[in-house]
Structure 1
Amino acid sequence: MGNRLETSLTEDLLHALQEEHYVTIATVDAEKGGPSVSAVSWIYASDEKTLRLAVDQKSRMIRNVSEEPQAAVTVIAEGSTYTISGRVKVKKESLEKVPLKLSLLEMGIQEVKDVMFYGARLTNEPKFEKTYDEEAAVKLDNQVMEALKRS
């Protein structure tokens, strides 16, 4: 498909991002001024124009977006690769009812671009597994996702 441009999430991307999903987020490094990329799985699309991410309160992303709010999320879904760009703010310093010290970042979506190279379609999306206690991981993931939904 390649290089399709939207100003909000498509219905398929909205649904894909309403469950835990592997993405990367690129911010502008507050100290070096260059790109800083992080992998995140706690992401939730609250609507077609808004993404929420839970990150450690000590994450460099917090300082980065506080100084330069422009960021880009890369997501592999629906057989393609998309870059979702917009402005990010720290919506909550601390997520309630979550045992980890997490902050809530919120992105106002400005652009959604299909960046897959010409003539290709992805046949598999990235899969990941939590490497700590499986039961604890499921419980924590559920707590964080619920916090993202209600915030």
Structure 2
Amino acid sequence: MANQVEQTLIDPLFESLQKERFVTIATVDFETKAPNVSAISWVLAKDSSRLYFAVDNRSRIVTNIQNHSGVVINIIANESCYSISGTASVKREKLEGVPLKLALIEVNINEVRDVMFYGSKISVEPAYEKTYDPQAAAKLDKQVMDAMREA
């Protein structure tokens, strides 16, 4: 049985992407032209057809996107694993209202594919914790997510 393919985010994914969470992003490396995968957490579904995420504006992710706009974001949510492919661009080189130099990236979604292998479901979603000052981390996370919502 083929996995489901959508052109926009389904409601459970949209809801999952309203708060900071662990996802991975694959870009095309600007030097090697090979896939490059990174983990990020500041990601937000702006609507059902667009995602925003924030990364350090010196990140290889930014350079890769400036050279090849195709990206895939992988998220584990809704008891499954999804591949969200789209076209990315740097919306803002510096996200306002945040003390770090973060670029705001916009992804226009082309396809949302359930890529979980047949006959299985995710029973526990990935969890992580910040390894620096929890209060400073919570404050920064709020600043970044609020700035992306306002962008």
**TM-score when scaled to structure 2?**
0.98
Q: Counterpart amino acid of 1:139?
A: K
Tell me the distance in 1 between the aligned counterparts of 2:26 and 2:69.
Answer: 11
Tell me the distance in 2 between the aligned counterparts of 1:82 and 1:122.
Answer: 11
Aligned partner of residue 21 in structure 2, secondary structure: coil
Q: Give 1:3 shift.
A: 1.5
Aligned partner of residue 141 in structure 1, secondary structure: helix
Equivalent in the alignment of 2:55: 55
Aligned partner of residue 53 in structure 2, secondary structure: strand
Aligned partner of residue 84 in structure 2, secondary structure: strand
Tell me the distance in 2 between the aligned counterparts of 1:90 and 1:144.
Answer: 16
1:57-102 superposed Cα distances (whole Å, 9 cap, x missing partner) = 1100111111100000000001000000000000000011101110
Q: Counterpart amino acid of 2:67?
A: E
Tell me the distance in 2 between the aligned counterparts of 1:89 and 1:79.
Answer: 30
Aligned partner of residue 124 in structure 1, secondary structure: coil
- For these two proteins, the number of residue pairs brought into alignment is 151
Runs of 4+ more than 4 Å apart = none
Equivalent in the alignment of 1:4: 4
Give the 5 Å matches for 1:72-91: 72-91=72-91
The answer on 1:130 being equivalent to 2:130 is yes
Question: Identity over aligned residues, as a percent?
Answer: 50
**Cα contact 1:71–1:87 (8 A) shared by 2:** yes
Q: Give 1:137 shift.
A: 0.4
Tell me the distance in 1 between the aligned counterparts of 2:89 and 2:57.
Answer: 13
Equivalent in the alignment of 1:141: 141
Tell me the distance in 2 between the aligned counterparts of 1:35 and 1:2.
Answer: 25
**Cα contact 1:2–1:114 (8 A) shared by 2:** no
Q: Counterpart amino acid of 1:118?
A: Y
Aligned partner of residue 117 in structure 1, secondary structure: coil
**Cα contact 1:93–1:102 (8 A) shared by 2:** yes
The answer on 1:96 being equivalent to 2:96 is yes
Gaps of 5+ in 1: none
